[in-house]
Amino acid sequence: MNELQNRIAFITGAASGMGRASAILMAAEGATVVVADLNLEGAEKVVAEIEEAGGTASAVKLDVTKPQDIQSAFERVDEQFGRLDVVYANAGTPGATGHEVTEEEYDFSVGVNLTGAYFVAQSGIPLLKKSENTGSIIFTASTAGLVGSGLSPLYSLTKGGVVMYAKALALSLAPKVRVNVICPGPIDTPMLPKFWSRETTEGASERLDAWVEQDIPLGRRGRPEEIAQAALFLASDRASFITGVALPVDGGFVAK
């Protein structure tokens, strides 16, 4: 349908999972996609997939815990394209589970999930304002940022911060830039089992399956492609009157 024809999209955490699915879908819908990830080899594989399908993309190695690296990446985008239409701050980490975390674990989780999201948006705003279209910022948060997670209070802290930042940013950037946040439930990515590993991975898959059966009304894990569809919608003109929204894509979990 070419919903993002002639748009430029920058996606973090795009080498795998939800970011990869979103990069591939946005490219299929006409966007030129900057595939940003700490795993450069993985990002380059995504670019190869996109190009093989006839799309356009480039790979960037990016550590979202380093604001200067983020700024440098966006400066390169400015030099190459002179604008952006979509910034999708998707990179995240499950971090440590439980309530006893080390200072190092705390700094890493906050650095990736909250500080990274903040500076990716901050660095992208000037380029979004150069777009002829209404710019779109999208964040990946979590249902754990809406209702809390007993498995990982630290994760809830970071993702709840992302939700409130998105809402505040939506107010400050309107009407030139729309800002929304996706709150996934259990999505079948390599990250998901880490929430359930606790001290050992033994039994993690069984605990996850039992929770999904009990607490997810639709009775299954989500797919990365289903998050990608939500991201595409929020990036497109179909969402032209939507800003400041925290959208659960969770099989009905937070509706209970």
How confident is residue 204, by pLDDT bands cut at 50, 70 and 90? low
What mean pLDDT do residues 19-44 have? 98
Alpha-helical runs (H) found in 111-203: 116-128, 153-173
pLDDT tens across 212-238, in order?
989 999 999 999 999 999 999 999 999
Tell the residue number behind the tokens 């970071």, with chain if given.
Answer: 158
Strand order of the β-sheet with 86-89 is 56-61, 32-37, 8-12, 86-89, 135-140, 177-184, 246-249
Q: Which CATH class is domain 8-190+223-248?
A: alpha beta
Residue 218's φ and ψ, nearest 5 degrees, are: -80, -5
What mean pLDDT do residues 44-59 have? 98
Residue 117 pLDDT exceeds 90: yes
| pLDDT at 195 (0 to 100) | 65
What mean pLDDT do residues 88-115 have? 91
Cα(212)–Cα(217) distance, rounded to whole angstroms?
A: 8
pLDDT tens across 79-93, in order?
999 999 999 999 999
Share of the chain above pLDDT 70, in %: 95
| pLDDT at 203 (0 to 100) | 64
Q: What is the DSSP string of 179-198?
A: EEEEEE-SB-STTGGGGGTT
Residues 6+ apart with CB under 8 A from 50: 23, 24, 27, 33, 35, 56, 57
Pair of tokens at residue 17: 């999972």
The catalytic residue positions are: 155
| pLDDT at 11 (0 to 100) | 98
| pLDDT at 36 (0 to 100) | 98
Cα(146)–Cα(248) distance, rounded to whole angstroms?
A: 9
| CB 43 within 8 Å of CB 66 | no
In the chain, domain spans: 8-190+223-248
* 100, burial (CB in 10 Å: exposed 0-12, middle 13-18, buried 19+): exposed
H helix and E strand count, the chain? 8, 7
Tell me what the pLDDT averaged over the chain comes to.
93
| pLDDT at 199 (0 to 100) | 47
* 224, burial (CB in 10 Å: exposed 0-12, middle 13-18, buried 19+): buried
Share of the chain above pLDDT 90, in %: 84
Tell the residue number behind the tokens 């815990």, with chain if given.
Answer: 65
pLDDT tens across 135-183, in order?
999 999 999 999 987 778 899 999 999 999 999 999 999 999 999 999 9
More confident site: 111 or 196? 111
Q: What is the DSSP string of 40-105?
A: HHHHHHHHHHHHHTT-EEEEEE--TT-HHHHHHHHHHHHHHHS--SEEEE--------SS---HHH
| pLDDT at 206 (0 to 100) | 78
Phi-psi region of 122 (alpha: psi -120 to 50; beta: other; left: phi over 0): alpha
pTM of this structure = 0.94
Pair of tokens at residue 109: 């989780």
| CB 30 within 8 Å of CB 56 | no
| pLDDT at 96 (0 to 100) | 74
| C-alpha triplet 126, 134, 140: angle, nearest 5° | 75
How confident is residue 197, by pLDDT bands cut at 50, 70 and 90? low
Buried b (16+ CB within 10 A) or exposed e, 146-160: beebebbebbbbbbb
| pLDDT at 75 (0 to 100) | 97
Residue 245 pLDDT exceeds 90: yes
